[in-house]
Amino acid sequence: MTGHPAGAALSGKVAFVAGASRGIGAAIATGLAAAGAAVAVAARSETEGRLPGTINSVADRIIAAGGTALPVVCDVTSEESVEKAVAATVSTLGGIDILVANAGVLWLGPIETTPLKRWQLCMDVNLTGVFLATKAVIPQLKARGGGSLIAITTTGVDMIRGANAYWVSKAAVERLYLGLAAELKDDNIAVNCLSPTRVVLTEGWQAGGGGQKIPPSMVEPPETMARAAVLLASQDASGITGTVQRSEVLIPRG
């Protein structure tokens, strides 16, 4: 189903959003669809689990609002799953112009008390998952003559304190994408990282934030991330590329 207004910023574009069943990913998928993109809502969550939100519920909301959405099962830690999800998107929606690599898990415990399985899970989802999704999507963007790659990271990577699996994995993603920006410039592909300026209280944060109390002044609505993602999604290599963007710097409050 389509219902995009004429002249929508992303009209005719196809976006693949990994980790789109809830939180920031769901907000970005909705924002991209409102801007005119057809959106593959990709995640593992087909049915309600420990956390609320599924790929089907997000896709249904987008379609009900007049947009185009395709729920796609995707486990970003599995190369086979990622490749199948990308192939299904291309088969149904005609190609891919935009990737938002958002799938992530949170672990904020100190290194000395971090179980190896938690460390590995952060690296598998937050870093290897970005690698696999990006690797699978790049040929599709090249075939379309360019596009935009966006990885969702975190403000914490530029802090001196905070040596934990989550921030280490996100810092590695920023290094990956900054390098890719130079490599893909001749292919007309913009490559950027985007993080919240403040804390977005997603379902994942509330489940994994260790009970930290965040004052209201430090909370950012997920819609700000969605607006920033739409701006970056509209870029190619002639525009914003090779940057690490903070949402409220890119899209000022007010």
**Positions marked catalytic:** 166
Structure tokens at 237: 């290599």
Q: How many alpha carbons lie under 13 Å from residue 154 in its C-beta half-sphere?
A: 24
DSSP state letters, 137-195:
HHHHHHHTT-EEEEEE--GGGG-SS--SHHHHHHHHHHHHHHHHHHHTGGGTEEEEEEE
How many CB atoms lie under 10 A from the CB of residue 35?
A: 24
Residues 6+ apart with CB under 8 A from 211: none
Contact predicate 188/146, CB 8 Å: yes
| Rounded distance between C-alpha atoms, residue 58 and residue 71, angstroms | 8
Contact predicate 173/152, CB 8 Å: no
Provide φ and ψ at 207, rounded to 5°: -80, -30
End-to-end CA distance of the chain: 33
Q: How many alpha carbons lie under 13 Å from residue 110 in its C-beta half-sphere?
A: 3
